Structure 1
Amino acid sequence: MTAADTHPVRDPELPGKLLAAERDVLIPLLRGRPEQDFEVRTCCPGWTVRHLLAHCSAALSRVVESRYEKDVFSPEANDRDIAERSGRSLAEIVDELERGMTDAGPVIAKAGGALDGVGLGEWVHAGDVRDAWGEPGAYAGAQVGPALDLLAWITRDRGRPALHADLDDMDEPLLLGAPSGDRPPARYLGDAATLVRLHAGRPLTGTRYELAGATEAELDLFD
């Protein structure tokens, strides 16, 4: 965990490690669910679990194969990727996802930080699946520590507002974003999963937290 009094530095291997660790728990979960469960709606507007997994597998395949159209990862491109997989079986989509989670890490590591958000986004989407299915560990679980370290780096790299997070379920506080002499760090009190929800623009219904010095909209990385 990154201490609040230090500035995060990029670990090029971290996104790949996060993907591989998530793969080892997510893929067995997916393969153990009945087909009708993949028609459950997720928090991503218009997407079922199947749609979300098709998006995730397509995004990772693009990274592995270095296929980047002009509008890559735009809503329109995402819709095309999902439509292209509409005729595939669930097993084929999950197989593609597993390959992507295995092979994307080295490509992301060599990209100098430009693709680090893909690694974090895939982990967040795994939380979307758990959230849709009512599974424990959505936006938390065993990999929340590495995910928060990656979040700290990405928010700093993108120049987001500095945020000092005192986490109920972590031993150390966390500093996110880029410190500025013109603006003191905002402060967050709450659990790690809710902090992830805030930065990923996920629903906050049923959560409890305190946020001072920044708005929810300012924290949303994917807006």
Structure 2
Amino acid sequence: MTARRDPERPGRLLRTERETLLPLLRRTPPEDFERPTACPDWNVREVLAHCGAALVRIIEGRLPAFTPEHNAQDVAERADWSLDRILDELEYGMTEAGPAIEAAGGELDVIALGEWVHAGDVRDALGEPGAYEGLGLDDALALLATVSRERSTPRVCAFTPRGSWLLGNLVDGRAAAQLSSDEGTLIRMYTGRPVAPERYSLAGARREELVIYR
């Protein structure tokens, strides 16, 4: 299915993560924040520092941002912060960024989706099951349907246990591709995370064409 923009969806997705991810992080042993993640250059601590910094940029209106250079600078600036300070900033961002994202008229929705995906990266690194299938999954899939069109990925009819999704844009002279997978694998594929080949079936498109974050 396709999904019309719900302006409250990004904020709702962030608040869901605040209520589910933060309690997990508050009880995680400090040494586990050094674990590597699906983001090649960042461990768990650095992913969380990036997430909090990005949301604070939105709240404070320090845009445009989110280039690799900005992201690296934000993480470096937080290198000597305590874990509590990093988590406090992330909690603040997840609480307060929703209205600013809503007011942007859709331009920043992709950031809310990215925050949810990074939460999956953290869960995955910590060995949590269903890392990319948390409580915000329905909102995340709806945002993905929109973002996949904005990022000019090819049209894909995706079939998952929760239903079907129409992703991307039609390409002249090219039929829609067909994808079958579970929802977590769908998220992984479109965000460039590692995926085992046996977890999906894709015909009519190349996997690398689907990635929305480059």
Structures share a fold, TM > 0.5? Answer: yes
Equivalences, count: 214
Structure 1 residue 68: Cα displacement: 2.2
Structure 1 residue 30: Cα displacement: 0.4
Contact 1:194–1:207 (CA under 8 A) maintained in structure 2: no
**Which deviates the most, 27-36 or 173-182?**
173-182
Residue 44 (structure 1) aligned to one of 34, 39, 42: 39
Q: Deviations over 1:183-205 (max 9, x none)?
A: 22111011010010010000113
Counterparts of residues 1-223 of structure 1 (less than 5 Å): 3=1, 7-68=2-63, 72-167=65-160, 169-170=161-162, 172-180=163-171, 182-205=173-196, 207-223=198-214
Distance 1:144 1:205 in 2: 20
Identity %: 52
Distance 2:4 2:176 in 1: 18
For residue 157 of structure 2, give the secondary structure of its aligned residue in structure 1. strand
Structure 1 residue 181: Cα displacement: 5.0
Contact 1:163–1:185 (CA under 8 A) maintained in structure 2: yes
Distance 1:119 1:151 in 2: 11
If the length of structure 1 is used for normalisation, what is the TM-score? 0.92
Q: Deviations over 1:69-121 (max 9, x none)?
A: 5xx21222111101111111000000000010111111111101110110000
Structure 1 residue 161: Cα displacement: 1.1
CA RMSD in angstroms comes to 1.4
For residue 199 of structure 2, give the secondary structure of its aligned residue in structure 1. coil
Distance 2:23 2:142 in 1: 25
Distance 1:44 1:196 in 2: 15
